[in-house]
Amino acid sequence: MLKAKIFAKGLLYVLGSFVLALVITYLLHRPSMKVIAQRKQPAETNYDGWGPYYLSVVQGDLDRSGFPFHVGRNYFLYLGRDAGTPS
């Protein structure tokens, strides 16, 4: 009976650790997709009514290629008709 309780408690610790590891991995690998800077096309520029266009600098996910000494961020440019974060 005592062995079964110890086994159940150990199994609970292992499963809890596994779930916690999954949550932490998800939080570390998700991109932030935060817009750092955004510019709207000038009013003088007109593309036959296909506007306005926005140029955005978006903060992407973490770059862990230099881990453990340097963990940087990836950035990318987004050009589109909608203002805000690209989907």
pLDDT of 5 over the 80 cut:
yes
Smallest Cα–Cα separation from 56: which of 29, 33, 72, 73?
33
Upstream peptide bond of 52 is cis (omega within 30 degrees of 0): yes
Residue 40's domain comprises 31-87
CA atoms in the 13 A half-sphere facing the CB of 41: 15
Residues 38 and 14 in one domain: no
Residue 10 and residue 22 in one domain: yes
Q: Provide CB contacts within 8 A for 8, sequence distance 6+.
A: none
Q: What is the pTM of this model?
A: 0.58
- Residue that is written with structure tokens 């991995």 in the block: 25
pLDDT tens digits, one per residue of 46-71: 777 777 888 999 988 877 777 778 87
Count of other CB atoms within 10 angstroms of residue 58: 20
Do 65 and 86 share a domain, yes or no? yes
Question: How many domains is the chain built from?
Answer: 2
Encode pLDDT of 6-57 as tens digits: 989 999 999 999 999 988 888 777 777 888 999 998 888 877 777 788 899 9
Q: Note whether 38 and 21 are same-domain residues.
A: no
